Amino acid sequence: MQSFYEATVTRPSTYAPLAGQRSAHVCLIGGGLAGLSTALGLAERGVDEVVVLEAQQVGFGASGRNGGFVFGGYSLDCADLLKTLGPAHARELYTLTTDAVDLMRQRIARYRIDCDATDAGVILANWFDEPARLDAQRRLMRESFGVEWEPVPAAQLASQLKTRRYHGGLFERNAFHFHPLKYVLGVADAAARAGVTIDEHSPVVRLQRAGAGFVVHTPQGALDARHVVMAGGGYARNVYARVERAVLPIATYVMATEPLGTRLHDAIDTRAAVYDTRFAFDYYRPLPDTRILWGGRISVRERSPDTIARLLRRDLLKVYPQLRDVRIEYAWGGLMSYARHKMPQIGRSADGVWYAVGFGGHGMAPTTMSGELLAAAIAGERPVPDAFARFGLTPAFGALGLAAAQLTYTTMQTRDALAARRAARPVV
């Protein structure tokens, strides 16, 4: 089953495979948002001879398959970020992501990217009948990160989300949601018009050091490059082991309903995107054509569209049983790259290879941010902030790491269920 995103884009036919021997100043391996944001950032800084090599098509990986949320933060919880880095560095890294949200808005306007952007914020809905959870989160964001998340009382939230599952929420105003594949294709087009060369269907089969630079080999050609950036995410294989050993390719699932028309407001009467306070949370949003796009779950294996549709439909009906007769028209999965420490890995290896990976779970703004950081560093403008060195290429231990990730997810699902039962237990 094709994804909703793929079914609703028109791809350009101008990105031919790399052929023959060529040279470049910078070679980006990976045509997702990390590689393309770096390429566009370099072009905006006047850097010439930039080439993007993509094994499949632009946006093939997580960048073109995700839930389409754009907001600040990382997969690592803000409280844990604060504990790891301390107040100054934690706030510095968080602010980089909110700056990236603003940059994405600017690029949508500057390059006229038609990506169904809905600038209506994001709601964090409390799954548990424990107001202290929201109070603590709101206080943390205000006091440590200078961000005001607005409280949404339970009655107000119930008027927006027609379900008994939630107990109030927090509204993050500086957030939006969009069609991520349209946005990625728009960034690619902007980069190409600025002089960047994009080669699709050009998997890298070998990367070798050559003097002060590198030679990047594909099945039909080779590229001499002064700088190489690894940005392949969860789909990079057998190209650069130092990066690939440091990420776990984790699968997640998304579906889209049929257009609901006026029935949409029987369930969701807000333009905001929504996620909840569980570790294993649902995330969803209304689409411009009145569909509901719904995502959730993680796994160490990819599943068939029919299985994904069945699992996510079950999750949808737990929240909105009034939609039991609604058809699911699209269901798909994809691989995200996760690091053990749940932070992006952005920097440069000792052998000179730059990298930008590990954005799974909270990726669009941090991925855009990584492009700006690497573009600025490669252009000699400023180095990557030192704080990212705390989140380096930590080995993920392959199959063992995947098994540990699945066990952690299952354990946290159980913890969420137990917490919900405790919160629902009547006081005697």
Q: What CATH number is associated with residue 387?
A: 3.50.50.60
> Across residues 73-96, what is the average pLDDT?
96
Question: What pLDDT sits at residue 426?
Answer: 47
Q: Between 397 and 428, whose confidence is greater?
A: 397
Statement: residue 405 has pLDDT above 60? no
Count of the separate structural domains present in the chain:
2
Average pLDDT over residues 364-383: 97
- What number of CA atoms fall less than 13 Å from residue 215's CA on the CB side? 9
Statement: residue 409 has pLDDT above 60: no
pLDDT at 162: 98
Task: Indicate whether 300 and 369 sit together in one domain.
Answer: no
- Whether residue 324 sits in one domain with residue 189: no
In whole angstroms, how far apart are CA 294 and each of 39, 200, 255, 328, 387?
31, 29, 5, 10, 34
pLDDT of residue 396: 62
- Using 50, 70 and 90 to split pLDDT, how confident is the model at 9? very high
Kindly indicate the confidence band of residue 373, based on its pLDDT and cuts at 50, 70 and 90. Answer: very high
d(C-alpha 275, C-alpha 69), whole Å = 10
Closest CA to 145 of 68, 184, 192, 88: 88
36 vs 394, more confident? 36
Domain of residue 138 covers 122-173+248-338+397-428
Tell me how far apart the alpha carbons of residues 107 and 205 are, in angstroms, rounded to a whole number.
33
Cα separation, 161 vs 9, in Å, equals: 29
Same-domain status, 112 and 187: yes
Q: Band of the pLDDT at 378, cuts 50, 70, 90? A: very high
Reported as a single tens digit per residue, the pLDDT across 110-131 is 999 999 999 999 999 999 999 9
pLDDT at 236: 81
Q: Residues 103, 195: one domain?
A: yes
CA distance 298 to 302: 9
Q: Give the count of alpha carbons within 13 A of 15, CB side only.
A: 26
Kindly state whether residues 235 and 352 are assigned to the same domain.
yes
- In this predicted model, what pLDDT tens digit does every residue of 213-251 receive, in sequence order? 999 999 999 999 999 999 988 888 889 989 888 888 888
Q: pLDDT category, 375, cuts 50, 70, 90?
A: very high
* CATH code, domain with 148: 3.30.9.10
Residue type at 234 in one-letter notation: G
Report the chain's C-alpha Rg in angstroms: 21
In this prediction the pTM is 0.93
127 in the same domain as 29: no
Say if residue 210 is in the same domain as residue 274: no
85 shares its domain with 194: yes
pLDDT tens, position by position, 143-167: 999 999 999 999 999 999 999 999 9
Q: What is the pLDDT of residue 428?
A: 32
Average pLDDT over residues 47-67: 96
Q: 185 and 145 in one domain? A: no
User: What's the rounded mean pLDDT across residues 278-293?
Assistant: 94
Strands (DSSP E) contained in 231-304 are: 248-257, 273-276, 282-286, 292-299
Residues 197 and 91 in one domain: yes
Query: What pLDDT is recorded for position 424?
Result: 56
Residue 376: pLDDT above 90?
Answer: yes
Please determine, for residue 302, whether its predicted confidence score (pLDDT) is greater than 80.
Answer: no
Verify that 236 and 265 share a domain, yes or no. no
Q: Tell me: do 272 and 375 sit in the same domain.
A: no
Angle at 48 between CA 45 and CA 53, to 5 degrees: 105
Task: Please state the rounded mean pLDDT for residues 410-415.
Answer: 60
As a whole number, the mean pLDDT across the chain is 92
pLDDT value at 361 more than 90: no
Residue 303: per-residue pLDDT = 84
Contact 337, 269 (CB under 8 A): no
Per residue in 176-220, pLDDT (tens digit) is 999 999 999 999 999 999 999 999 999 999 999 999 999 999 999
pLDDT of 35 over the 90 cut: yes
Band (398; pLDDT cuts 50, 70, 90): low
| % the chain with pLDDT above 70 | 91
